[in-house]
């Protein structure tokens, strides 16, 4: 019997790389507000919801800001971000990622997305993966952000599978904590490998195959 029946993937930082677009969009907003912002601060926004990201940026803001103003600025950031996302195409999907996904699928694994982003479906469409996944759980169907496990719990629910049959792949520590809270095994990729809490540390996307079949 297989250890897992499904793999739930984070999108940003796992399936594709949107960091530079998030950075450019937040930088435009921060510049307009006169707030210092750099790539190091941008790295802290990984896996963090849009509004929580803005709160982190506002740590360096001297003035006061109402909830309505925050809504306006985050909407502005998202408008800029969505324009930038139009630059993405199927060429942004690496051969390694596509091969691994195809290989998992061919071997009977269900594949899902578990992402905090409200733009997940748009990004998947840009990558040519609009109809690819068996389930998509994203920022539009959750009320609590990571490290709360809601986004992954919902993904498992959409797939109709128990948590222990799903493995989560994440690039941020908050996501690994969320997987643990949701009683799911996890594979850490990139920065998340440093936290030492994932079931598997994946040095490359292809390692995922070894992890699920081990
Ligand atoms: C996560 C990103 O996937 O989605 C975060 O890692 C981002 O950086 C969050 O803030 C929300 O994204 P969006 O697309 O809804 O603004
Ligand atoms: Mg991520």
Residues 181 and 46: their CA atoms lie apart, in Å, by: 19
Q: Which residues are catalytic?
A: 10, 12
115 lines ligand 1 (CB under 6 A): yes
Ligand nearest to the CA of 145: 1
The band of 145, judged by pLDDT with boundaries at 50, 70 and 90, is confident
201 bridge partner residues: 188
Say whether pLDDT at 160 is over 90: yes
pLDDT digits (tens, 9 = 90+) for 57-105: 999 999 999 999 999 999 999 999 999 999 999 999 999 999 999 999 9
Rounded to 5 degrees, what are φ and ψ at 169?
-115, 120
The band of 214, judged by pLDDT with boundaries at 50, 70 and 90, is confident
DSSP classification of residue 2: -
pLDDT digits (tens, 9 = 90+) for 162-207: 999 999 999 999 999 999 999 999 999 998 999 999 999 999 998 9
Provide the percentage of residues in the chain whose pLDDT is more than 90.
Answer: 91
The pocket of ion ligand 2, defined by CB under 5 A, consists of: 10, 12-13, 47, 171
Predicted TM-score (pTM) of the model is 0.95
116 lines ligand 1 (CB under 6 A): yes
Choosing from 43, 80, 139, 140 the residue with most ligand 1 atoms within 8 A of its CB, the one to mutate for a pocket test is 139
Structural tokens at position 123: 């990004």
Say whether pLDDT at 213 is over 90: no
Measured by CA distance, the residue closest to atom 11 of ligand 1 is 117
Nearest to 115 by CA among 72, 162, 175: 175
pLDDT for residue 47? 87
pLDDT for residue 1? 84
Burial of 91: CB neighbours in 10 Å, binned 0-12, 13-18, 19+? exposed
Strands (E), 31-162: 110-114, 135-137
Choosing from 11, 37, 42, 49 the residue with most ligand 1 atoms within 8 A of its CB, the one to mutate for a pocket test is 49
117 lines ligand 1 (CB under 6 A): yes
Say whether pLDDT at 146 is over 90: no
């Amino acid at each position: 019997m297989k250890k897992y029946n499904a793999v739930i993937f984070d999108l940003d930082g796992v399936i594709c790389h949107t960091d530079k677009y998030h950075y450019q969009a937040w930088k435009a907003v921060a510049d307009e507000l006169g707030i210092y912002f750099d790539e190091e601060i941008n790295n802290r926004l990984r896996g963090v919801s849009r509004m929580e990201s803005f709160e982190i940026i506002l740590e360096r803001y001297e003035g006061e800001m109402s909830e309505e103003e925050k809504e306006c600025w985050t909407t502005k950031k998202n408008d800029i971000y969505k324009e930038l996302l139009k630059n993405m195409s199927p060429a942004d999907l690496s051969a390694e990622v596509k091969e691994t996904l195809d290989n998992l699928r061919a071997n009977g694994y269900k594949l899902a997305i578990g992402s905090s982003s409200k733009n997940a479906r748009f990004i998947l469409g840009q990558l040519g993966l609009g109809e690819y996944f068996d389930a998509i759980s994203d920022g539009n169907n959750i009320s609590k952000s990571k490290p709360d496990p809601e986004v992954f719990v919902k993904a498992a629910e959409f797939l109709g599978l128990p948590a222990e049959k799903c493995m989560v792949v994440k690039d941020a520590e908050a996501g690994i904590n969320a997987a643990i809270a949701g009683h799911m095994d996890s594979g850490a990729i990139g920065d998340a490998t440093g936290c030492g809490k994932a079931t598997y540390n994946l040095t490359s996307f292809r390692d995922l195959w070894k992890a699920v079949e081990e």
